[in-house]
Amino acid sequence: MRIAVKRNIFKAREHKNRNLFAKPIFYYVVAIVLFICAIIVHPWDLQYKTYITTHRFLDIFPLNQLMDLIRVFGNAGITAIIALIFAAYGYRKLAYRIAVSLIIMGIIVNILKPTVARERPNHRNCHSFPSGDAATAAAFFPPMAAESNYFIPGTVIITPAVGFLRTYDNWHWLSDVITGIGTGFIGVGFALFFCEKKNRIYKLLCRKIKPRHYAILSLIVLISCFLPELIKGGGKYLNFTSFYAPALYVWLGALYIPFIFSSRSESCKRIPEQMNNIKVYYSEKVITTNKPVFPTFNKGLTVLFLLLALFLIIPPWIISSIGNIAFASSGIGIAILVLMIAVARINKSGNLKRVKPTISLGTAIIIIFALLTLLPAILRS
């Protein structure tokens, strides 16, 4: 009886939190409070900058490396890629909300920056107010928190962390960051209100365009944004592609890519004959045999993959001399863990038709991203 009561209380709290983060008025109120706070702290911007630049408590390994993994969420291009991946998974309404939130936020920020023309604390230019990175993080995480409580920590922890790092890196004043977060929340409020109406754009993006199209588009956008950063030898795209992208795209490939061609609509062009042969091969294997098309993980293979993943993840964060390849190697290790989880879930569900494509495509994606991220990281070191 007590267990049932506790479950009901938990569900009620979860429902309450979901309603709170799904209400546009909540973000409007928080944004107004943040704007007032920005006005209050504005006279102490210089004192705050002096204190932060004096106490560089994050300039130690591996904290500085870990902070780079948080900074990536302030990049609008990276958050747009993640939104496309959500759409490829089938969460098209969530991706639509994120896109609308980023667009509205971007319009407000790009109007305020040249209008106010506030000089940055590092004197690089006069586009300090408001912080675009803080606004991007604030516009990205709340739509996910409105969808599920699991993303609430991203709103209440990572968003302020992105803003703090902008002041820590001496790119923005404290009032810039607070205003930027409030601007992002304004975009979220408009997005939640706007997306409730089933307009033509919503119907096009959430009903007409297929998930496999978003999957292909996300990969195209990722590569087009990543290659310039690769040429320059640094940047947030390189960190994102090294650490997060392998796991995201392995999961995407494990769950969806094997069925891109089998579930195509009649309006699509004919697929190449080679792809058709692969589809027929897998389907015949499942129909004509009762055995799995690929053997499930045994204990020895599981331990081997687990040790390989741990070897790729742990040593680069301990040995500071190879810090440049910490992202790439640990990202590949996490991708291996994600692949193991995907295979375990597929085996447990009994859908054996997905097991072999999961292994083959997942391994291919890991190799591709290893070449794209590990080798450039080695060259940079």
pLDDT in tens, 68-80: 889 999 988 899 9
Cα dihedral sign, 16-22-28-32? positive
Q: How many CB atoms lie within 10 A of CB 53?
A: 13
* Cβ neighbours for 75, distance < 8 A, ≥ 6 positions apart: 133, 136, 236, 237, 240
- Specify the DSSP element, H or E, that contains 207: none
Instruction: Say how far apart CA 149 and CA 143 lie, in whole Å.
Output: 11
Q: How many CB atoms lie within 10 A of CB 159?
A: 28
Q: If pLDDT is split at 50, 70 and 90, which confidence band does 363 have?
A: confident
- Specify the DSSP element, H or E, that contains 98: helix 92-116
pLDDT in tens, 229-256: 777 766 778 888 888 888 888 877 766 6
pLDDT in tens, 99-132: 999 999 999 999 999 998 898 988 888 888 899 9
Instruction: Say how far apart CA 43 and CA 174 lie, in whole Å.
Output: 10
Q: Which two tokens stand for residue 371?
A: 């070449």
Beta strands in 210-327 (DSSP E): none
Residue type at 203 in one-letter notation: K
CB 72 within 8 A of CB 165: no
* Cβ neighbours for 285, distance < 8 A, ≥ 6 positions apart: 293, 356
Instruction: Say how far apart CA 337 and CA 334 lie, in whole Å.
Output: 5
Residue 311: pLDDT above 70?
A: yes
Helix H, strand E, coil C: the string for 27-45 is HHHHHHHHHHHHHHHHHHH
Beta strands in the chain (DSSP E): none
Quote the DSSP letter at residue 269: P
Instruction: Say how far apart CA 49 and CA 328 lie, in whole Å.
Output: 33
pLDDT of residue 286: 46
pLDDT of residue 30: 92
The reported pTM is 0.78
CB 256 within 8 A of CB 89: yes
